[in-house]
Structure formats: C-alpha cells, structure tokens
Structure 1
Amino acid sequence: MAKKKVLKLAFIGGGGIARQHADYFSRYDDVNIAAVADISDDCLKHWKDALEVPGYTAYQEMLQEVKPDLVSICTPNFLHYKPSLDAMKAGAHLFIEKPMAMNSRECRNIISQSRKLNRKISIGFQHRFEPRVQFISQAIAEGRFGNILQSRVYYHRRRGFPNWGVFGQKAQQGGGCLIDIGVHALEMCWYTVGRPQPVAVSGNVWAHIGNDPKKAKNVACQWPGWDTEAFDVEDLAIGQIRFGDGSIMTLECSFAMHHEEEGMNFTIRGEKAGAQLDPLKIYTDDYGHMVNIEPSFIPETDIWETKIRGVIDHMLHNGPNLAPAEDGLAVQQILDGIYRSARTGREVAVR
C-alpha cells in the first residue's frame, strides 16, 4: 500500500489569522503543522501550549531546519513580500493571507519567482465560496444575465476601527479600510462577475474619524480606544473600476461612516437580469412581467473549510487552484489604482 501523502505546513506570523488557519488545517490528517515563526515570545508560547507546535523567532532558521512543503504567510502586509520569496527559495509552496502584498509590483515579483522555481501559490480569499456568491456567479457564467453592465459592492462599518495590531499604520499595512476589508468585498464581487480585466480606476479616500481623539473616546463602539496618534490611513474609500468588457464596478468601504448600511453586500446589473447578494434576489423578466426570484433554499457552507481544503488539495494532490496568485495581483492592481487616483485627483490606468 502506498504511503499516504502528508503536507508539512509551517506558519510565518502566528497571530489571530494564523490561529484561525491552524484551526482548520488541524482538522485534516493529511496535514502536519510542523512549526511557526513569530517575533513574539507570548505568541510562540501560545502555539506551544495550546497547539503543541514548536516555535522560532527567526523564520529563516525555521525554513532551514523544518523544510516545510507549504508556508502560510500570516504577517502584517509589509512582511508578506520578503518572507514569500525566502520561503519559495527554501523549497516551499505558498498560502498568502490577503492582500497578497503591499502593491502590484511586489505581487508580480512573487509570481515571477514562483514560475522560475516551479512553486504553487494560493491567496487567502474565502468570500468567493459563499453559497449565494456561487449561485449568482454560476448564473452569470451560464449567460442568464447577458453582458454585465454595472455592479456596486460595499463593506461598511459604521464605527469599527481595529484597536489592536498595526491596522491604522500605513507603513505596515499599505492603507486602511480599503486594503484591509475593501479587498474582501472587491474580490468577492469581481469573482462573481467573471473576473474581468481591469483597465482604469478612479477613486478617493478620506480620514475624518480615525485620527480624531474626541471621536475615538466619546462615541460608544465595539472596539473603542484605538491609537489616534498612530492612525495615518483612510477610514473611508470609494472607487470606480472600468473593465475591458465595458462594465464598471463601484467599490465602497469604511472603518467609520455615518450611514445605515453595515457589513458586506453587492448588487449586479446585466442586460438580461440583475442580482442582490443579501437578501439573495434575482431581478429579471418572465411570464410577460418583471419578476423577482428568491431561492427558497440555499445550503449553508463553511467558506473557511472550503478555502483550506481547497489549498490542501491543490498543494498535495494537484487539485484546482481556487484562488490563484493571478487573482491576488488583479485585486492588488485595482487597490493600487484607487490609492493612486486619490493622490492625483484623476482616473488612472491599471498597471
């Protein structure tokens, strides 16, 4: 009997998102969580005590000694790039938490190196696996919407600044709400409409609450008391993306804004039909009338389980790559474009 394949997994970065990854990876007997690297002794103690995973303060030492098959990159955004390159040089494939990197140049370099070294890369996108997203994307792929004309997607928090980590620091994150939570909304809607090629972007970003000490202390919210002095990123971003197929998409996201809409949602308009994600509705013409279709049952799915199992099957068994690096690059190009447009005050070409 052939010996069962087991994926040797290591983590660079051991914080909250890495622990969530580990929770799912540990459910499968074809994965061995071999090591974690983090600069925090407290973090490494948690992994040792709770998960019985050995830790390293230097990821380079971990790569050399452990020789993992797959490395999960779960560091702050500014530490995605070099560890990704180093892990591939050490022989590992990559699972990179979103966003793929700080900018599209870094993304392209990571992809170029992966092709030279014959390494696989998957990106930590999970909202594309949401059952309602799959329902709409399949209908679009089958031609039921005709050509897509316009979509609007948002991820809004009325007052939701992370009061931990470096989420408010541009040098470490590359931006604020846009690169942190807007990336989720963008990739979800972009995937749903068929992953069209972006060609131009316009947008703006604002910081009007996150850097105000009075607003941080005097308004009750879920995560109060964030560091306003260190906060130098946007708390509201809006962009419009033009695609090569003639469609456009409006993206909105906020850490803080005076509005009723919260959470993540989208609407899509096509020649033959339109859709709304939440609550799920299809708008079309039938029986000689304008009709709204609401599915009576959509099965629930653990999107994290789908994501993690997909990564394992791709890395270990050559299954399909459900979130390839090229998707990470396309999303990053759009994010870069919105920031560039905000700086220049004009529409910019995607590059």
Structure 2
Amino acid sequence: MADKSVGTQSFATQETKSAGKKVRTAVIGCGMISNVYIDAMNRIPEFEIVGGCDIRKERLDWFTKKTGVTAVYEKWDDLLREVQPDAVVVATPNGVHMPASVAAAKAGCHVMTAKPMAMTPAECRQMIDASKKAGKLLAVGLQFRYRPATEMFVRARDAGDIGDIMYVKCHALRRRGIPNWGVFGQKELQGGGPLIDLGVHIMEAAHYCMGSPKPVAAVGNIWTYLGNKPCATECPWPNWDYQTYTVEDLAVGHIRFENGAILQIEASYAAHIERNRYNIQIMGSKGGFDWESSSLFTDRAGTMLTSTPAYTPDDQMITWFTAKMKNFVSGILHGTPLRAPGEAGMAIQKMLDGIYRSAANGGREVAID
C-alpha cells in the first residue's frame, strides 16, 4: 500500500503550532553535518539548543562559537546526565549512531539520528527497541523524502497517474569525489563507502516513492580500484587518505520486493562517467517519472505526454533539513506522525546490508528478512 503521508502542500511550507513550548535539544557529534542541523533548528522557534558533545575539543569550541552554548562535553553520558535534554540529534560517524541513540533513549530523550540509521539491521532493532521502551520518538534523517521532486511524484502516484510501480533505477554517482576529510573511507567506522554514504539517500527516496514495499532479496557487487591508491588526477577533492581506505569505490545492487517490483542502484565515489549523477527513474504501468528533472511521462487522449513543473519550490539542503526537523519537533509536541521513523530507517538498512552480503558472497542472491 502506498504511503500517503505527503499531502498537496509541501511539509517544508507548513507551520508547526505550539504554545510557546521549547524542546531542549543537544547535538551529539559536532562535525560538518551538525552545522546544517543547527541551522535548521535555528529556523524553528520550538527548538532550544542546550548542549553539544564531540571527542574533539576544536569541534566543541566551534559548537560554542556557533551556538553560544557553553555546555559541551567529550562524553555523551556526561551531557545526558548534566544537561538532561528533551531530545538529541546524533550526527556522528555511522558506527556511533547506535550506542549514542540507545544511550539517549535510556536517558529519556527523543532521538533524531543522521543517515544511515546504523551499521547493521540488528543495530537498528536495538535503537527502535530502546526508544519504544522509553516511550520516546526515534526519527531518521532521511531528508530526500522532503525534496520537491519526491513530493511531486507522491502526489502523482496518489492521483493514479503512475499505476503499479514495476521498476526503479537509481544513480548516486560521482565522477571523482572521494572524500578527503572525515572517516568516510574507513569501513570499521562507516560500514561501507558510496553505497551507504551516497546511495542511501537515493535508495530511501526511491523506496518512499514506491510506497515502502517489503524487500525480500538482494544481489550486489562492489569494487575498489582508486580510493586505495594515491590521488594521481586533478580533481575537486584530491589527496584522500588512501592508506586507510577500506571501502568500495563502486557498488551496484538489485533489490526484489514482495510485490514483484525491482529497484536497481548504482553508487560510486569515482566512476568514469561524463558527470555526477543523482537520479531516480520510476517506471509504472500507467506512467513514469524522472526525479532529476521532475518530469512525468504519461499517455493521455491518444498522445504520449511529458510534463514538467512550471514552478518548483525551494530545493536546497537547508530547506530539506528544516522540513524534517519541523516534522520531528511536531511529532514531539503534537503527536504528528514521523515521515521517517526508525522502522523506515531499518528497512533501508536491510537493503544496504543485503547488497553488501551478496557482494561478499560472489554476487549471489541473498534473502532479506
């Protein structure tokens, strides 16, 4: 059944309502992506940022300078005990999402965790169980479901313009974009490379567009051929740490769903292609959709038609982040259903895990429980 949580109006334009209530929120992990979360919360009057946590003193100094908040800690247990926030944003490397989120839930906090939800489906289950036991919300930062193209497609789908979705093809490809900062190349901290870093965005938006069918099987292959070598080509992000690079450069996956639909994904930090590509192509029995161009392909009155929007709402990262944080705070204060609850994050994690498990077994099909 299709998820009809997207109405005729973008959530990004809806106002949350409160009677002066504030959700006291702390940030665990003060790296690059926390900057966007902080900017988003600063746009929403219901949030009050009350503390920060990071193992690096320079990032704590940055956090205090940006927010004016001096309650900063190197250990999240100290933060949770002394600040006692209502909610936390977990913006750490992937391998820390689960322990930080579980600790926050046990301390009585609602949790927004960055994508991907965790390293494995089992970790996702621990996070979900901890939040349910505490009676608190667990949201996953899957912001691509707030993008205008995604919302446009869901409206067309729910209006009956697409019919049964049979096949979806996803691309998250950089010509040369191996991160030269952070720990993106370290499998033990991230769980994988471009598939779990870039592909997760496209995969979650595609799965959401499909109506979130149940995945049942996966086939995958991965290759490493550039990231584990010194940079030898002029490119935007040179001099990555090839000596610690243990993730893939290119991943290709194939997901089969319970309803018979198929999703194919390609993700790469370094693909020999003309240009970067981030796109979803959806093929249905009555119509199709190209996510990058927001084009709808249908037949009407004996004619094949291609429709594109005359107006597209603001499509910037800060807008998507603001929308998902509005949904989160509205869920806390008013019981608004989360557009990306923990269960949605775990479904995506199961697909990622299936592709990696298949790749580790020579590309043979594996079951997804």
Q: What is the TM-score normalised by the length of structure 2?
A: 0.91
Distance 1:169 1:146, change over 3 A: same
Amino acid corresponding to residue 58 of structure 1 in structure 2: K
Contact 2:105–2:131 under 8 Å retained in 1: yes
Q: Matched residue of 2:354: which SS?
A: helix
Inter-partner Cα distance in structure 2 for 1:279 and 1:49? 39
Inter-partner Cα distance in structure 1 for 2:89 and 2:184? 20
Identity %: 40
Summarize deviations over 1:177-236 as a string: whole Å, max 9, x none: 1111110010011111111111111010110111122xx1x2111110001110010010
Residue 297 of structure 1, CA deviation: 2.2
Residue 22 (str. 1) matches residue 56 (str. 2)? no
Q: Matched residue of 2:242: which SS?
A: coil
Inter-partner Cα distance in structure 2 for 1:82 and 1:63? 13
Contact 1:141–1:194 under 8 Å retained in 2: no
Instruction: Indicate which of 313, 317, 331 corresponds to 1:299.
Output: 313
Instruction: Indicate which of 20, 23, 45 corresponds to 1:4.
Output: 20
Contact 2:41–2:47 under 8 Å retained in 1: yes
Contact 2:110–2:136 under 8 Å retained in 1: yes
Residue 275 (str. 1) matches residue 292 (str. 2)? no
Amino acid corresponding to residue 159 of structure 2 in structure 1: E
Q: 1:290 aligns to what? A: 304
Q: 2:339 aligns to what? A: 322
Residue 349 (str. 1) matches residue 363 (str. 2)? no
Q: 2:178 aligns to what? A: 161
Contact 2:36–2:321 under 8 Å retained in 1: no
Q: How does 1:185-334 map to 2 (within 5 A)?
A: 185-213=202-230, 216=231, 218-301=232-315, 302-334=319-351
Q: How does 1:61-80 map to 2 (within 5 A)?
A: 61-80=78-97
Residue 20 of structure 1, CA deviation: 1.3
Inter-partner Cα distance in structure 2 for 1:242 and 1:88? 33
Residue 263 of structure 1, CA deviation: 3.2
Residue 314 of structure 1, CA deviation: 1.2
Summarize deviations over 1:129-156 as a string: whole Å, max 9, x none: 1111111122112322111110101111
Q: Which runs of 5+ in 1 are unaligned?
A: none
Q: 2:56 aligns to what? A: 40
Inter-partner Cα distance in structure 1 for 2:25 and 2:238? 36
Amino acid corresponding to residue 140 of structure 2 in structure 1: I
Residue 261 of structure 1, CA deviation: 4.3
Inter-partner Cα distance in structure 2 for 1:329 and 1:314? 19
Aligned length: 347
Inter-partner Cα distance in structure 2 for 1:120 and 1:105? 19
Between 1:202-211 and 1:296-305, the stretch displaced more is 296-305
Inter-partner Cα distance in structure 1 for 2:337 and 2:198? 26
Provide the alpha-carbon RMSD of the alignment.
1.3
Q: Matched residue of 2:196: which SS?
A: helix
Inter-partner Cα distance in structure 2 for 1:113 and 1:59? 16
Residue 108 of structure 1, CA deviation: 0.9
Inter-partner Cα distance in structure 2 for 1:95 and 1:305? 13
Q: 1:124 aligns to what? A: 141
Q: Matched residue of 1:229: which SS?
A: helix
Q: What is the TM-score normalised by the length of structure 1?
A: 0.96
Inter-partner Cα distance in structure 2 for 1:267 and 1:48? 43
